Amino acid sequence: MRILGTIAEVRAAVRDAKAAGRSVGLVPTMGAFHEGHLSLMRAAREQNDLVVVSLFVNPTQFAANEDLSSYPRDEARDAALAESAGIDILFAPEPAEIYPDGFATNIHVAGITEVLDGASRGPHHFDGVATVVTKLFGIVQPDVAYFGQKDAQQVLVVRRVVRDLNLDVRIEACPIVREPDGLAMSSRNVYLDADARAQATALNRALDAADAAHRSGESILSGAQAVLDEAGIAVEYLELRDAETLQPVTVVDRDALLLVAARVGAARLIDNHLLRGVAR
């Protein structure tokens, strides 16, 4: 595995691969790798000849009051894990490589970024995501890019960018990877102490309760809220949204996402379940 820090180096490596007719997969990450990240890398490794993993804690998607300075970082550990997954290139640029002096371009996706995490974290968040992902696509020019379904809204934003800007890349959303007790894997789970770690399992249990309520024709949100209330978790949002447009829904007659965000201990956590539509 090669660890590259400049755009020019990555472009040269990809150019050589494409000239040889090799397919290219990209896994964009902010590091602090866990099994969720590794599942994306394995999927990319199985489906592509050359696999690039980007490791970049993107400053533009953090608000001033968020955890940019404390976000978990361990490049040596991440590099070892990426190499063990068979990755060819770890692209680990400095911020100035991605955002040089005078950088003044921003990509905004209207409609699906103002709700849920966009409302909780601010409009800058998905602007930062859309901009950095578009830059990575331009740098790496992948055939396929891999994202985790845990960040369901982010996946929809990236898909919209690709559609609207006619980018020649396929977006592959990979299933959420969970701990044995159901907690969705996240780099921010390291912020949880023992009590908060136990409390956090209520997020997935609430979504499971909602799934059960959906199948039995009962109130989806009420079932989830009851589990969260019992665990003493006050949510930022618990909402049922159309799985493609993120418009609010009350009847699941087409695929919908039940999404939750909450601060548990020192960590802000998100999770979601896909509820399959039932024609009425």
Catalytic center residues:
37
Sheet hosting strand 256-264, strand order edge to edge: 235-242, 256-264, 267-275
Contact of 43 with 146, CB cutoff 8 Å = yes
Both tokens of 126, joined, read 């998905």
Chain position carrying tokens 């907690």:
183
Angstrom distance (rounded) from CA 3 to CA 21: 22
| Phi/psi at 183 (5° precision) | -65, 130
Please give the Cα distance from 33 to 53 (Å, whole number). Answer: 11
* Under 8 Å between Cβ of 81 and 33: yes
Q: H-helix or E-strand containing 258?
A: strand 256-264
Angle at 41 between CA 38 and CA 43, to 5 degrees: 110
Sheet (strand 2-4) strand order = 2-4, 89-91, 50-55, 24-29, 144-148, 170-174
The token duo for 270 is 């998100």
Task: Assign 199 to helix, strand or coil.
Answer: helix
Q: Are strands 256-264 and 267-275 parallel, antiparallel or unpaired?
A: antiparallel
Rounded to whole angstroms, how far apart are CA atoms 109 and 161? 7
32 φ, ψ (degrees, to nearest 5): 55, 55
Check: CB of residue 88 under 8 Å from CB of residue 50.
yes
